[in-house]
Amino acid sequence: MNDLKYIATSSAQNGICRLLAQKILFPLSSVLFIMSWSVQAMAVDTPKVVSTQIITDQLVNPWGIALLPNNEFLVTERPGHITRINAAGELVRLSGLPEVVAERQGGVLGLALDPNFASNNLIYVCLVGADSDGKTGSEVYQATLNATSLTKVTAIFKAKPKAKTGFHFGCRVAFDDQQSLFISLGDRYSGMDQTQTLDNHYGKVVRILRDGSPHPENAFLDSAAPEIYSIGHRNVQGLMWHPAQQAMWAHEHGPKGGDELNRLTVGANYGWPTITYGINYNGDIISDKTAAPGLEQPLTYWVPSIAPSGMALYGDDLLVGSLKFRHLRYVKLNGAQALEQTELLTELDGRIRDVVVAADHTIYVITDEPQGRLIAVKLAQAPLNNLSH
């Protein structure tokens, strides 16, 4: 700019001044315009919460949530309830559940509505039950939902074998677009070394029909556990059908580090504990391998662990709760590729246990705490959908 001032002092050199202005100032203004446009674009693309509303804070360790018609909600409470909540936040704890073992990580956990819920009022719940020896395991029940109760409660699946530990039940449930029911089952901690074998349900995701029978296109129909869809999981805590990808997506807890997001494929092996991006809680090495032939790689993984829980699509992008860091994580996606990630709702200081998205784009989350909250969340940007992914 000093050069320009010097040149401008001579009228004879005005032509040179104009030339330099064209060479320097015009490109500079273009750069500034592009930078301004980029900042505006980033502001639009970066997720931003514009409002939150607590619908209720009277839940006891809520775990799963489903959206009902008429702005109502169905929520599981881990100590032993399925609770109906209306738009005003009024709670009705439903009667009719079978006996539940609510110890350590066990209790009433995953929840899904039947694909034909509008006409049959059927729901599916995954809870922890015990045998006569006190061993526990994940069990899935089908039931008819009434105003204040559950009726026709029928067991359609029980994971085997049961175990004495109170950890890693999995117990997320979700339907695909063919009305097949997927159930996540953890390695129960004590069954880590059995996740690679086909005679049990430890560390598996299973696929069944609504009557509980194995899906006829499962890969291991001749095994002792024909319900198995995929193997080699540790403790899947998020399960979601991705319509554009035409696949079930799952995320699971690693040990110390190594939480994973996976796209599930029938018959696939996701590697636990043969490969892992985590280590044991005491610092010991579980495996020195993060990849091996025939074992699937995650879409993304988290080190350190975020303890993901619950999962839902927001348009083309992904919402994942974080128990450890107490936020809702917004994962920008390009098809199945995870891009930048943004932490939302940190000010709530709540362990986000589950998340769902309504048709009007309102996000609902539940916080896992003795006075658990159901919270409605609005983002500044509407979700984008691109079904070509």
As annotated, the active-site residues are 168
Closest CA to 328 of 302, 355, 305: 355
Q: What region does 240 belong to: left with phi over 0, alpha with psi -120 to 50, or beta? A: beta
44 is written with which tokens? 């639009």
H or E element that contains 44: helix 26-45
Structure tokens at 272: 């636990």
Integer Cα distance of 200 and 349 in angstroms: 38
Residue 278 near residue 321, CB atoms below 8 Å: no
User: What is the C-alpha separation between 91 and 190, in angstroms, rounded?
Assistant: 37
Half-sphere exposure of residue 103: CA atoms within 13 angstroms, side-chain side: 11
DSSP E strand boundaries for 253-324: 259-263, 300-302, 308-314, 317-322
**CB–CB of 128/84 below 8 Å?**
no
- Contact in structure between 273 and 279 (CB atoms under 8 Å): no
DSSP 8-state class, residue 382: P
210: Cα separation from own chain's centroid: 22
Return the SS3 of 346. helix
Question: What residue has token string 């696939």?
Answer: 268
With 0-12 CB in 10 A as exposed, 13-18 as middle and 19+ as buried, what is 136? buried
Please list the residues that pair with 140 across neighbouring strands.
126, 157
